[in-house]
Structure 1
Amino acid sequence: MNQPHIAFLGVGLMGAPMVENLLQAGFPMTLWNRTASKCEPFAARAEVASTAASAVADADVVITMLENGPAVDAVLVEQGVIDALRPDAVVIDMSSVPPSLAREHAARCAAAGAGYLDAPVSGGTVGAESAALSIMAGGEGAVLERVREVLESLGKVTHIGPAGSGQLAKLANQAIVGITIGAVSEALLLAARGGADPAAVREALMGGFAGSRILELHGQRMIDRRFEPGAPSRIQLKDMRMILDEARAEGLTLPLAQRTHDEYQALLANGQGEADHSGLLLALEHLNGVRMTAADLPPRAQANRE
């Protein structure tokens, strides 16, 4: 059986390693990106299209990995991708967009005779590079089975429910991620200002009930002050905004999500939107007028490090 031809739209921070894994798995591919130069590293192994609509003309599967809902809508609708789809093609939107928009795109694809999945991911660039993404798929189960081999080349796939459900799962994921980053920031800064070595505190907590991937990975980023983006803070703020929008639509009040949203908003107001989302520590430091670095720790904390 021939491998399905994949059109991949959005070769950015997450898209590039995903493209690499799909090529390694042997899928023939056509690539498109708004900034065409980002496709150049793959030009010897994949076709590069000049427009999004031309990229999907011969595709069995179309994957979008774009920054936000308006970008996805612009590509699928305004730039004519849905109109250019082959009959029975499957669109897999792996971006993070509002659930209502995912349902709208599913209806548009159905009207065009195409399948649709909203399949956002968790795992960041590390998961993308290692083909270990958690993929949350919304849509018809039969459509998912048609493209399961493609998605399993990128990570672990879970069918959540009907169209829009994948995006709801991603919002749940981002609520936990954002709120937990805030908790880790506060905990490590509190420990450091009281005289404890934050690195030792993190190590101790990793073996207990507070242990988590956030504490493991982002806690270490905070201690090392490595805030180059795996997931930029501006994207986390966008996700927190979508969480609150969805909550309001359902008549819910989510105070922890609201507080975390406001902290990320403060981080961006300080000009640090491109910092990794673990950089929420920077907003907390700015609020308190202190830094969690060895030079700025109380004397007893510095003594613990020596």
Structure 2
Amino acid sequence: MRIAFLGIGLMGRPMASHLLTAGCQLCLWNRTRSKAEALAHLGAQVTNTPAEAIADADIIITMLENGPIVDQVLFNSTPAVQFKAGSTVIDMSSIPPELARQHAEQLQSKGVNYLDAPVSGGTAGAEQATLSIMAGGNAAVFEDCQTVFSALGKATYIGPAGSGQLAKCANQAIVGVTIGAVSEALLLAAEGGADPAAVREALLGGFAGSRILELHGQRMIDREFNPGATSRVQLKDLRTILDTAHLEQLKLPLVEQTYQQYQKLVDNGLEEVDHSGLLLQLEIDNGDRQLNNKATQSPYSKNHNNN
């Protein structure tokens, strides 16, 4: 089984590494070639164009930043991509559900199978091969791809094309809103004179316990905002959720408020901080009152310049 893997970034690199370790034959492409070349020692072939990577591939995995980039790479590359008849595209990027449905139709017309299979679990899940994979498309095609999915984590079949992306929207809504709630809760506790670390520990044993409180709550206390998932990408995902809700004539007020907070964070030049860094915007909004006295030691203060 020959696999083309497109996108060797924070998530793509460990994912591709696991597939190579599992014995898959990989052709890699990445806009910055050096990132793909870092996996050559594991037996990966590095290509110069998406078309070169895809030409003989049985499975094409895309792990790219957004929908327009996926669209460009698959359908508007130079030279043009030629898909092998009967091959399968597995888009593991996070893109709008409607665009996923369009891609499914375009590929079906070329005799190519399609699954939208975005992931959750962040860089830690990618590195540990414990990703939660949410797949939409044909159920039989999904079953045929279990060998690939099992090397990366646990896959769940959601429904027809676009359903995987809808599940990812649901995931990112919960993640974004919960990060905001954890930020507010810990800052409230700290301002009232409680130890935020002790508050976090206590809450983990009750109904407020969550992976966000466990992992990102600790990041907030430690002021460790180097990205596992960037605030820029979280903002993009929240925009996708709101656009999708608009198509369904839905109002999502909590997502709207969280989107506005991430927009302000990005506007303050903090687009590359981890999405748990939403705490930084909350601190700014409260007159720079900070969760703990380590704040001035963080490389991501409000005056941090990412350029």
TM-score after normalising by structure 1? 0.94
* 1:27 alignment partner, one of 12, 24, 28: 24
The DSSP-based 3-state class of the residue aligned with 2:135 is: strand
How far apart are residue 83 of structure 1 and its match?
4.4
Distance 1:246 1:39 in 2: 33
What is the letter of the counterpart of residue 159 of structure 1? Y
Q: 1:82, 1:109 within 8 Å by CA — same for their partners in 2?
A: no
Structure (1 or 2) with the greater helix fraction? 1
Q: 1:5, 1:27 within 8 Å by CA — same for their partners in 2?
A: yes
Specify the alignment match of 1:71 in structure 2: 69
Specify the alignment match of 2:149 in structure 1: 151
Q: 1:83, 1:112 within 8 Å by CA — same for their partners in 2?
A: no
Closer, same or farther: CA 193–60 of 1 in aligned 2, 3 Å: same
Specify the alignment match of 1:271 in structure 2: 269
Q: Deviations over 1:206-255 (max 9, x none)?
A: 00110000000000000000000000000000000000000111000100
Counting matched residue pairs gives: 293
Distance 2:81 2:186 in 1: 51
Q: Mind listing any 5+ residue stretches in structure 2 that lack a counterpart?
A: 296-307
Summarize the alignment of residues 175-194 of structure 1 with structure 2, pairs less than 5 Å apart. 175-194=173-192
In terms of mean alpha carbon deviation, does 35-44 or 248-257 score higher? 35-44
* 1:17 alignment partner, one of 14, 20, 28: 14
What is the letter of the counterpart of residue 291 of structure 2? M
Summarize the alignment of residues 108-257 of structure 1 with structure 2, pairs less than 5 Å apart. 108-257=106-255
Distance 2:58 2:240 in 1: 31
Distance 2:274 2:26 in 1: 30
Poorly superposed stretches of 4+, deviation over 4 Å = 80-83
Specify the alignment match of 1:304 in structure 2: none
Q: Deviations over 1:6-46 (max 9, x none)?
A: 10000001000001100111101000001111011112311
Q: 1:82, 1:112 within 8 Å by CA — same for their partners in 2?
A: no
Cα root mean square deviation, aligned: 1.2
Q: Deviations over 1:118-142 (max 9, x none)?
A: 0000000000000000000000001
Q: Deviations over 1:254-284 (max 9, x none)?
A: 0000000000001001110000000000000
Q: 2:18, 2:151 within 8 Å by CA — same for their partners in 1?
A: yes
Summarize the alignment of residues 281-292 of structure 1 with structure 2, pairs less than 5 Å apart. 281-289=279-287, 290-292=289-291
Closer, same or farther: CA 238–140 of 1 in aligned 2, 3 Å: same
Closer, same or farther: CA 126–81 of 1 in aligned 2, 3 Å: farther
Specify the alignment match of 2:95 in structure 1: 97
Distance 2:11 2:178 in 1: 22
Distance 1:47 1:139 in 2: 29
Distance 1:42 1:53 in 2: 19
Q: 2:54, 2:81 within 8 Å by CA — same for their partners in 1?
A: no
Q: 2:50, 2:81 within 8 Å by CA — same for their partners in 1?
A: no
Q: Mind listing any 5+ residue stretches in structure 1 that lack a counterpart?
A: 297-306
Closer, same or farther: CA 285–186 of 1 in aligned 2, 3 Å: same
Closer, same or farther: CA 156–81 of 1 in aligned 2, 3 Å: farther
How far apart are residue 294 of structure 1 and its match?
3.0
What is the letter of the counterpart of residue 85 of structure 1? F
Distance 1:126 1:293 in 2: 26
What is the letter of the counterpart of residue 23 of structure 1? L
The DSSP-based 3-state class of the residue aligned with 1:7 is: strand
Specify the alignment match of 1:294 in structure 2: 293
How far apart are residue 295 of structure 1 and its match?
6.3
Q: 1:75, 1:81 within 8 Å by CA — same for their partners in 2?
A: no
TM-score after normalising by structure 2? 0.94
Quick one: percent identity of the two aligned structures? 64
What is the letter of the counterpart of residue 292 of structure 2? T
Specify the alignment match of 2:298 in structure 1: none
Q: 2:90, 2:115 within 8 Å by CA — same for their partners in 1?
A: yes
Distance 2:37 2:109 in 1: 34
The DSSP-based 3-state class of the residue aligned with 1:207 is: coil
In terms of mean alpha carbon deviation, does 287-296 or 217-226 score higher? 287-296
* 1:260 alignment partner, one of 249, 253, 258: 258
Closer, same or farther: CA 173–81 of 1 in aligned 2, 3 Å: farther
What is the letter of the counterpart of residue 292 of structure 1? L
Q: 1:82, 1:108 within 8 Å by CA — same for their partners in 2?
A: no
Q: Deviations over 1:184-213 (max 9, x none)?
A: 000000000000000000000000110000
